[in-house]
């Protein structure tokens, strides 16, 4: 692992409620909207970079079932350890201690890439999306989800006074430019204070 200051930051955060607390009732409509975009996942192969403690990963692993696969990864050893413990009984899920961009995945091997509450933290967003586009099969999808809206996320980061204070979710115009440059096309976008942020792009 390189000397990425975000690794130390997220390691310390692995026990924080925002990272480890079980999802509550307020998350249900957000997840419902997410699964309305993914469609049925049984048997699908997914990548979830920046899985944290694996709360969404567990839901995804159950959704793909025993004939599917979820490749999760995170740069933080403590986040990975928590995710592995959570996912212990689900062999269809694997957790790699790695930055997404370093995963040895075959081109066109993924049906879906889920970036859940991680996109602002990619230092090189163009390179991250180029990687996503490379590993997606033609017709595969990218979902970028946050449980809060863009304004709230960027405000939290801006005021954090930590290594994440410049980690911003781009505005839609910039996001579209990044997607297009990577060979992806936006199909759906919603960003509001109630349901948070969801962007769906296809290859
Ligand atoms: C805000 S947390 C979100 C974690 C989890 N998805 C959740 O919603 O609880 C962002 C996570 O992304 C990880 N991360 C940051 N950059 C990454 C990268 N390039 N590749 C993989 N993981 C990364 C961090 O270690 C951290 O656990």
Please give the structure tokens belonging to residue 4.
């990425």
- Coil, strand or helix at 80: helix
Protein residue closest via CA to atom 20 of ligand 1: 99
The pTM for the full model equals 0.97
CATH number of 5-15+26-36+48-202: 3.40.50.150
pLDDT in tens, 78-124: 999 999 999 999 999 999 999 999 999 999 999 999 999 999 999 99
Please identify, by atom number, the ligand 1 atom nearest to the C-alpha of residue 9. 25
Cα separation of 36 and 30, whole Å? 10
Q: What is the mean pLDDT of residues 153-171?
A: 94
Please identify, by atom number, the ligand 1 atom nearest to the C-alpha of residue 55. 9
Protein residue closest via CA to atom 14 of ligand 1: 50
- Coil, strand or helix at 138: strand
Protein residue closest via CA to atom 7 of ligand 1: 52
């Amino acid at each position: 692992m390189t000397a990425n200051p975000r690794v130390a930051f997220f390691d310390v955060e692995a026990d924080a409620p925002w990272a480890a607390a079980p999802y509550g009732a307020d998350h249900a409509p957000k997840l419902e909207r997410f699964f309305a975009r993914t469609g049925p996942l049984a048997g699908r192969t997914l990548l979830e970079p920046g899985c944290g403690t694996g709360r969404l990963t567990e839901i995804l692993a159950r959704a793909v079932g025993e004939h599917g696969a979820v490749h999760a990864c995170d740069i933080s050893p403590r986040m990975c350890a928590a995710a592995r413990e959570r996912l212990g009984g689900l062999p269809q899920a694997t957790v790699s201690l790695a930055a997404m961009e370093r995963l040895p995945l075959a081109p066109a091997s993924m049906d879906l890439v889920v970036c859940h509450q991680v996109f602002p933290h990619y230092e090189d967003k163009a390179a991250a999306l180029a990687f996503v586009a490379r590993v997606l099969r033609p017709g595969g999808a990218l979902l970028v989800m946050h449980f809060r809206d863009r304004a709230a996320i960027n405000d939290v980061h801006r005021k954090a006074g930590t290594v994440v204070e410049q980690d911003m979710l781009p505005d839609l115009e910039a996001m579209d430019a990044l997607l297009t440059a990577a060979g992806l096309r936006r199909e759906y976008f919603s960003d509001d204070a109630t349901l948070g942020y969801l962007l769906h792009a296809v290859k």
